[in-house]
Structure formats: C-alpha cells, structure tokens
Amino acid sequence: MNPSTSQLSPTAHAFSQLFSSTRRGARLARLLAVLELHAWGCPQDASERAEWIVAELAANAVLHGRVRGRGFRLGLAFDPGTGTLRIEVTDARGERAPHLVDADADGEGGRGLLLVGAFADRWGSAAYPPGGKTVWAEVSAHGGPAGRAVRSPGPVRSSWRPGVVG
C-alpha cells in the first residue's frame, strides 16, 4: 500500500430560493444572488457578470414565464475548485422556450438574452417537468465570457431545496 496524500477540493456552494413573479421578486433575486456570491468569495469579475445574468433571467421569468399564483426559482451553484458558477432560473411557462430575437434599435426590450450571451460562457434552457422550463448560464471565474448558447439535457440535479440556503 502506497501512502498518498489526497487533496480535498474546496467546498462547493449552493443556493436556491423561490421568489414571487413580480418586479420586486426579480430585484430581490438579484440582490440575494450578489450577497451569496460575495459570502462565498466568488471572484469580483464572475460576481459582476452573474449579477447581470440573474437580473436578465429573473426579469424574463417575470415578464414571459409568469403564471398566476406561481413564482420562479433562482438556483446558484459555485465550485471554487473548478471556478464554475452556474445560474438557473426556473419558471412555470415551459411552452415559452427562450429564443434570441432581432431587437429593434429604438425598442425598449428584446435584448435580455443577448446580454446573457454576452456575459455567460455558456447558456441554454431545458424543460422542467411537469410544465416549466429552466434557463441556465455558466460563468467561469477563470476566464472571460464566450457567450455560446447550447442545449442541456436538463437542469442540474442536486440536493437543493427551495428556501434552503447552502
């Protein structure tokens, strides 16, 4: 038997919270995300990019994914060992898949996913049974955004529970 030293990777962090599908809920999601990322020691560049992403995805969940009486869920997972931050926003409107649109230069909307693509290294969406969807984005704390949109087989499955702070 060879003696070996095993190195434990730093503890991964997770956060999940339900919010009301209102502008106030979207704002609160952004503010709590910033507080969590700061508490976890997430690098400033990644935290700032994540703040924009959370703001856009939460706003989209409120504007396009709202079902009366149903909220949206924000999930964050940060692995300091790999430097990967994953952001997930789940809403109740699975039939409304996110898609990029040609935004009118003078229009007030239509740029949210363009901003997500600009700040994220990867992003995509997946069905969230029974009738919702999860839009996710990944940010690397070790590099700049590449903004590639991809499809995922589904949201990250973990021990997250709504309302439990990791």
Residue extents of the structural domains in the chain: 15-134+145-149
| Domain 15-134+145-149: assigned CATH number | 3.30.565.10
Q: How confident is the prediction along the chain (166 residues), in pLDDT tens digits per residue?
A: 455 444 445 578 999 999 999 999 999 999 999 999 999 999 999 999 999 999 999 999 998 777 787 899 999 999 998 999 999 999 987 777 776 666 555 555 557 788 898 999 999 999 888 888 999 999 998 765 554 444 444 444 333 333 333 3
Cα–Cα distance measured from residue 125 to residue 139, given in angstroms and rounded to the nearest whole number: 15
- In terms of pTM, does the model score above 0.85? no
E strand segments, 38-121: 72-79, 84-91
Cα–Cα distance measured from residue 130 to residue 26, given in angstroms and rounded to the nearest whole number: 23
Kindly give, in sequence order, each residue whose CB lies less than 8 Å from that of residue 31, ignoring residues fewer than 6 positions away. Answer: none
